[in-house]
Amino acid sequence: MADTLTPVLSDNWDQIRSWQLSSYQRSGGYDALRKALAMQPADVVATVKDSGLRGRGGAGFPTGMKWQFIPQDNPNPKYLVVNADESEPGTCKDIPLMMASPHTLVEGVVIASYAIRASVAFIYVRGEVLHVIRRLQQAVQEAKDAGYIGTNILGSGYDLDVVVHAGAGAYICGEETALLDSLEGRRGQPRLRPPFPAVAGLYGCPTVINNVESIASVPAIIKNGPDWFSSMGTEKSKGMTLYSLSGHVTRPGQYEAPLGITLRELLDLAGGVREGHELKFWTPGGSSTPLLTSEHLDVPLDYEGVGAVGSMLGTKALQIFDDSVCVVRAVLRWTEFYKHESCGKCTPCREGTWWLVQILERLEKGQGSDEDLDVLLDLSENILGRSFCALGDGATAPITSSIAHFKDEYLAHFENGGCPFDPMASTVFATAGASA
Amino acid sequence: MAENHTTATDKTVPYSTGDSKITDATIAEMREIAARYPVARSALLPMLHLVQSVEGRVTPEGIEACADVLGLTGAEVSAVATFYTMYKRRPVGDYHVGVCTNTLCAVMGGDLIFDRLKQHLDVGNDETTEDGKITLEHLECNAACDYAPVMMVNWEFFDDMTPESATQLVDDLRDGNEVKSPRGATVCTWRETERVLAGYPDGRADEGPTGGKATLAGLRLARERGWTAPGGSSNAETQKED
């Protein structure tokens, strides 16, 4: 039985200048790369597959299997693309990881690239995080200078170039095929699949796209072995992961634990919900995962556990909202976000999110009716599953789940002729006596 | 609250002001960026960041320069430039000040902070103060939810904000006082920021801490209680960052 918290990715974050190569090497950094380069690439893939590592960007697809899908008999170059476009509302794990220990990611990039025999790897990082970009740029340069990136890496005969690429502000680019279009210098719009990126990805070549946390988990797996990794977690959800607690919680932040911990346990570690208040609703993995309530405090936070209660583990972005928050206001704001971020390619998402916002605005002002709730649900049904990517699906998640759990609160808006909540009460400075 | 999301469209976008600062040196850097990629067009996003670092916005001359270097039409480059929110067609001030008003930050105080700043600076969303110092914009989630409410100045993090600390921050920026991000470097200008995003490091990566209090919350608890991953930690007993 593993400890309650199991820092692996975060284990060196309290070391002096943990972002520098010298600090990272003092913590055993790049030992895993040496070990990997002494293995056959296929054995590296097998090790990651055996570990049970599943994608940490939301979908939970087995990472080793994704690597195995790369057709090695395809004569085109192969590419690794790291999705560092962390933008899902509530999600805040990759950014602190890259800020504190960019070399963990860079080492994982070199190992993963070697495993799939990529010649170039890209780290596509959202543009709105200047200092993270600086640290990534520096880490890649340090790794080049140390011979971990470049030609004949550590005498292995393996060559790799790594490019840090800054995006320009578009949530949709976190969707893997939109990210590829963006990385090709186009508008970030999703592609129809098949073909999948493993066959025809960047520049039409075989491409693996992995989340930052997935790739950053690879060095520890190579170093300690697949059994070590799978000794943590639950039957089908192996390993440790970063849970990000935010919102109305006493000590918000990053908590690295084996998969399967519950929100009750995490809240206990984080000092509980804001004093004087009770948990009202929460997201298990960002705003695109259906809302849960205090009924779900004991759900194991792994892929199966959260799925079984009708939501998704997603990015493990646990946004905690207490009883001071109006769920209609929260849902309206998320819906405005999806409307703004819809890339416009598919009609159900582009048009649907506009209608959703209009109806929710009316409801929040208390000018709606019961029928509006039916229209919202009907619209949601017509958006769900009818677009190229999951953005439209995500837009419906807060709406359908909030109506399921909090229908009375929507009704209270009509009865009250407006929102019954005081927006000041939910702020962090509510008790400090400050006001706008 | 929907007015948060509207942008003034009644102000015309200057087409060409005839004083483009794109030079042969800029073009040479654009070619340098293009050479980083297996296919040159991949360089378009960083090239547009470079245009903003030189011009203070995406200008028609900047678009044409990108098109020339990459063998594209101006329309093809414009199509890309208008898709991404970080590319600005109107001139941006020295300091781009963003307030997250996505749900979590909004309810934690972001909405009130944004309202206060609009009043204090006498500007609307995506508008610039008359002195050209500050452009105010509401932001979507910036991946720092454990520090809500969050603001960004030239894409550096400002954590756990209040209306008071927000007005103090913009006053300091306007007065030319040195401003440091609690999880980043001393704030540089927006144009300097855009140059880093184009892939030209400014040597400031070593400024600032490894992370803030929330970043380290779980790790500190694990250290206190002696919790580690199986096999122990190689870092538990070594020197700590404060």
Complex confidence, ipTM? 0.96
For residue range A160-217, list pLDDT tens digits in order.
999 999 999 999 999 999 999 999 999 999 999 999 999 999 999 999 999 999 999 9
pLDDT reported for residue A36: 98
Indicate whether this model's pTM tops 0.80.
yes
CA dihedral B70, B75, B76, B77 (to 10 degrees): 60
Supply angle C-alpha A197, A203, A206, rounded to 5: 40
Pair A352, A387: CB distance under 8 Å? no
- Residue in B77, B145, B162 to test binding to A, most A beta-carbons within 10 Å: B145
Helix-, strand-, coil-residue percentages of chain A, each rounded to 5: 45, 15, 40
pLDDT band (50, 70, 90) for residue A435: very low
Beta strand extents in chain B (DSSP E only): 95-100, 127-128, 134-139, 151-153, 156-158
Mean pLDDT in residue range A144-159: 98
What DSSP state is assigned to residue A160? Answer: B
For residue range A72-117, list pLDDT tens digits in order.
999 999 999 999 999 999 999 999 999 999 999 999 999 999 999 9
pLDDT reported for residue A430: 86
Mean pLDDT in residue range B195-218: 98
Rounded to a whole number, what is the distance in Å from the CA of A372 to chain B's nearest CA? 19
pLDDT reported for residue B68: 98
pLDDT reported for residue A434: 40
For residue range A213-259, list pLDDT tens digits in order.
999 999 999 999 999 999 999 999 999 999 999 999 999 999 999 99
What does the alpha-carbon distance between residue A418 and residue A416 come to, in Å, rounded to a whole number? 5
Closest C-alpha to A319, from A347, A350, A286, A348: A286
Pair A54, A60: CB distance under 8 Å? yes
Phi, psi of A58 (to 5 degrees): 140, -40
Instruction: Give how far Cα A80 sits from Cα of A18, A355, A413, A427, B146, Å.
Output: 25, 38, 49, 42, 30
For A333, the closest of B103, B116, B206 (CB atoms) is B103
pLDDT band (50, 70, 90) for residue A392: very high
pLDDT reported for residue A376: 97
What does the alpha-carbon distance between residue B238 and residue A353 come to, in Å, rounded to a whole number? 51
Looking at chain B, which residue has its C-alpha nearest residue A78?
B38
Q: Which residues of B touch A17 (CB under 8 A)?
A: 206, 210, 241
Rounded to a whole number, what is the distance in Å from the CA of A80 to chain B's nearest CA? 13
Mean pLDDT in residue range B199-221: 98
Inter-chain touch B84–A94, beta carbons under 8 Å: no
pLDDT reported for residue B137: 98
- Residue in B50, B84, B89, B104 to test binding to A, most A beta-carbons within 10 Å: B104
Q: Which tokens hold the place of B230?
A: 């199986």
Q: What are the residues whose beta carbons fall under 8 Å from the beta carbon of B25, sequence distance 6 or more?
A: none
Looking at chain B, which residue has its C-alpha nearest residue A339?
B5
Inter-chain touch B211–A13, beta carbons under 8 Å: yes
Give me chain B's average pLDDT, please: 94
Q: Which residues of A touch B206 (CB under 8 A)?
A: 17, 19-20, 138
Q: Which of residues 201-240 of B touch A (CB under 8 A)?
A: 201-202, 204-208, 210-211, 213-223, 225, 227-231, 233-236, 238-240
Helix or strand holding residue A280 (H, E):
strand A279-283
What does the alpha-carbon distance between residue A286 and residue A89 come to, in Å, rounded to a whole number? 5
| Locus of tokens 């192996």 | A238
Pair B137, B128: CB distance under 8 Å? no
What does the alpha-carbon distance between residue A334 and residue A318 come to, in Å, rounded to a whole number? 15
What does the alpha-carbon distance between residue A52 and residue A65 come to, in Å, rounded to a whole number? 10
Rounded to a whole number, what is the distance in Å from the CA of A5 to chain B's nearest CA? 6
- Residue in B72, B103, B158 to test binding to A, most A beta-carbons within 10 Å: B103
Alpha helices in A342-434 (DSSP H): 347-364, 370-383, 391-416
By the CB < 8 Å criterion, does A127 face chain B? Answer: yes
Rounded to a whole number, what is the distance in Å from the CA of A382 to chain B's nearest CA? 24
Pair B104, B146: CB distance under 8 Å? no
Looking at chain B, which residue has its C-alpha nearest residue A230?
B230
For residue range A398-432, list pLDDT tens digits in order.
999 999 999 999 999 998 899 999 999 999 998 64
By the CB < 8 Å criterion, does A355 face chain B? Answer: no
- Name A121's bridge partners: A80, A162
CA dihedral A423, A424, A429, A430 (to 10 degrees): -130
Mean pLDDT in residue range A36-51: 98
Helix or strand holding residue A164 (H, E):
strand A161-166
pLDDT reported for residue B18: 85
pLDDT band (50, 70, 90) for residue B14: confident
Q: Which of residues 79-138 of B touch A (CB under 8 A)?
A: 79-80, 83-87, 98, 101-104, 106-109, 111-113, 115-116
| Locus of tokens 């690295």 | A256
By the CB < 8 Å criterion, does B17 face chain A? Answer: no
Pair A19, A100: CB distance under 8 Å? yes
pLDDT band (50, 70, 90) for residue B241: low
Q: Which tokens hold the place of B231?
A: 């096999």
Inter-chain touch B1–A232, beta carbons under 8 Å: no
Q: Which of residues 282-341 of A touch B (CB under 8 A)?
A: 287, 317, 319, 321, 325, 329-330, 332-334, 336-337, 340-341
CA dihedral B126, B132, B133, B139 (to 10 degrees): 10
Q: What are the residues whose beta carbons fall under 8 Å from the beta carbon of B18, sequence distance 6 or more?
A: none
Predicted confidence (pLDDT) at residue B7 exceeds the cutoff of 80: no
For residue range A342-367, list pLDDT tens digits in order.
999 999 999 999 999 999 999 999 99
Predicted confidence (pLDDT) at residue B217 exceeds the cutoff of 50: yes
pLDDT reported for residue B238: 77
pLDDT reported for residue A206: 98
Rounded to a whole number, what is the distance in Å from the CA of A92 to chain B's nearest CA? 4
| Locus of tokens 């109107």 | B90
Looking at chain B, which residue has its C-alpha nearest residue A121?
B37
CA terminus-to-terminus distance, chain A: 50
Dihedral class, residue B62 (left if φ above 0, else alpha if ψ from -120 to 50, else beta)? alpha
What does the alpha-carbon distance between residue A175 and residue A181 come to, in Å, rounded to a whole number? 10
What does the alpha-carbon distance between residue A430 and residue A158 come to, in Å, rounded to a whole number? 57
For residue range A279-334, list pLDDT tens digits in order.
999 999 999 999 999 999 999 999 999 999 999 999 999 999 999 999 999 999 99
Phi, psi of B161 (to 5 degrees): -85, 160
- Residue in B5, B41, B45 to test binding to A, most A beta-carbons within 10 Å: B45
Predicted confidence (pLDDT) at residue B24 exceeds the cutoff of 80: yes
pLDDT band (50, 70, 90) for residue B3: very low
Q: Which residues of A touch B149 (CB under 8 A)?
A: 427-428
What does the alpha-carbon distance between residue A386 and residue A376 come to, in Å, rounded to a whole number? 16
Q: Which residues of A touch B202 (CB under 8 A)?
A: 134
